[in-house]
Structure 1
Amino acid sequence: MVNKKQIRGVYLVTDRPLCIHHNLAEVVKLAALGGVSFVQLREKETDSRTFLELAKHLIEILRPFSIPLLINDRLDICLAAGAEGVHLGQSDLPWWEARRILGEQAILGLSLETKEDYFSLIHTHPKPELDYLAVSPVFDTNTKTNTKPAWGLMGVTWLKNQTNLPIVAIGGIKESNAEAVIEAGADSLAVVSAICSAKDPKLATENLSKKFHSIKE
């Protein structure tokens, strides 16, 4: 079981159409070899049965590395596959219902698209039973559509100063801006195309991880 207080490092969010040099399973295994800390399976278009099969396959790949698999949005897929947790957005199943169903040991993350999302969260739940908050998006990106204006680096710092929960930064993050995002306060870097579309996902993961640990350690 992952130490949920240590949500840090490189966090891969999958996108099969962006896996242009390797298939999804290969990308995930290479990222694991490169030192990725978490993997989130995100499938916006596929049917439920395929989603479940993918989740089970990735769990088998990640198990030898003791790397948790989180499921984007779908609590049913998380439960059926035996994944370690879910990542939820503002329009998904309420996070407190997910916590009730999954229990205390599951990893549960929530995306915040605006400062108002944060204020609403703490107004209703001053001490939310969440394992991390995701700043989404930090920068404008084609992989996250229909989102609110980007938070920017100042937004990451603002949220870091508001909460004791770990901050996962996602949206437009790549090797060239990773250090700035970490220095702004991110505890974890969630990346999509920077790993999924890389010719060498293992090397891409290693490079991002080195930047993270050179600053945080």
Structure 2
Amino acid sequence: MTGAETTLRARNPIDVSLYLVLDPELCGGEAGMVATAQAAAAAGATVVQLRAPQWKKGQWLRCAQALQTVLHPLGVPLIINDHADVALAVDAAGVHVGQSDLPVAAVRALLGPHKIVGLSTNNLDNVAALLTPEVAACIDYIGVGPVYPTTTKLDASPVIAPAEMQAMFAACPMPAVAIGGIKTGRVAPLLAAGANGVAVISAICGQPDVTQATHTLLAEIKAARAERSDN
């Protein structure tokens, strides 16, 4: 993919309203991850990401195939964390990478123009780097976080201060999803600050009733958006 082709690429649409990141330990392994993803997607989750940093590649592939089987009929995109080869092998919707992973331009070159590419950002400088046309054209959405303290990502960056978080959302040229320590009761301030959606892990993974947990989060998102539109 040439620089000109990348610059002209239309951004792939993605609804990041309620973005579920699967956790193998909280979900109880592969079968639990698939069951959790299916229940959450059926209840209204808009994106599911497979993230399992301790797994071997064969496990990634097997679980991704199972996730595609249950998510595709529901129209919910599957995003693979880091591993573009796994995403290509199962025809997943896209890939999400961090600041120290494969550069987004390389991911875009591997996936082509029609797959979704997401990037984690941790500070305003990260967002400023997206403002060049060549980089911005490679990315369809960003993750902003951690916005609260989190225990599900041991190597997480420091929590972003509220003022910087709001500035990041304001500066971002593409949809932005807040992530990190988000539970019920913590959604409204994030959407008020400018987030397009929230990414959750423990607020759904490992919950005794995944369907109800998903409905509760969606109700908070709907209420927060209504509040924002009224102001």
Q: Are 1:91 and 2:100 matched, yes or no? A: yes
1:7 to 9, 15, 19: 15
Instruction: Please say if residues 7 and 132 of structure 1, whose CA atoms lie closer than 8 Å, have aligned partners that are also in contact.
Output: no
Task: Find the counterpart in structure 2 of residue 29 from structure 1.
Answer: 38
Aligned residue pairs, count = 215
- Looking at structure 2, the residues matched to 121 and 42 of structure 1 have their Cα atoms a distance apart, in angstroms, of 24
Letter in 1 for 2:20: L
Task: Find the counterpart in structure 2 of residue 174 from structure 1.
Answer: 183
- Looking at structure 2, the residues matched to 24 and 127 of structure 1 have their Cα atoms a distance apart, in angstroms, of 32
Task: Find the counterpart in structure 2 of residue 54 from structure 1.
Answer: 63
Letter in 2 for 1:212: I
CA RMSD of aligned residues (A): 2.0
Deviation at 1:124, TM superposition (A): 8.1
Instruction: Please say if residues 138 and 156 of structure 1, whose CA atoms lie closer than 8 Å, have aligned partners that are also in contact.
Output: yes
Cα distance per residue 1:100-119 (max 9 Å; x no partner): 11111111100012222223
Task: Find the counterpart in structure 1 of residue 167 from structure 2.
Answer: 158
Task: Find the counterpart in structure 2 of residue 149 from structure 1.
Answer: 158
Change (3 A) 1:153 1:198: farther
Instruction: Please say if residues 104 and 135 of structure 2, whose CA atoms lie closer than 8 Å, have aligned partners that are also in contact.
Output: no
- Looking at structure 2, the residues matched to 133 and 44 of structure 1 have their Cα atoms a distance apart, in angstroms, of 20
- Looking at structure 2, the residues matched to 7 and 153 of structure 1 have their Cα atoms a distance apart, in angstroms, of 24
Q: Pick the structure with greater CA Rg.
A: 2
By relative contact order (CA 8 Å, sep 6+), the higher-ranking structure is: 1
Deviation at 1:23, TM superposition (A): 1.4
Cα distance per residue 1:65-85 (max 9 Å; x no partner): 100000001111111111010
Task: Find the counterpart in structure 2 of residue 205 from structure 1.
Answer: 214
TM-score, scaled to structure 1: 0.92
2:26 to 18, 34, 41: 18
Letter in 2 for 1:50: Q
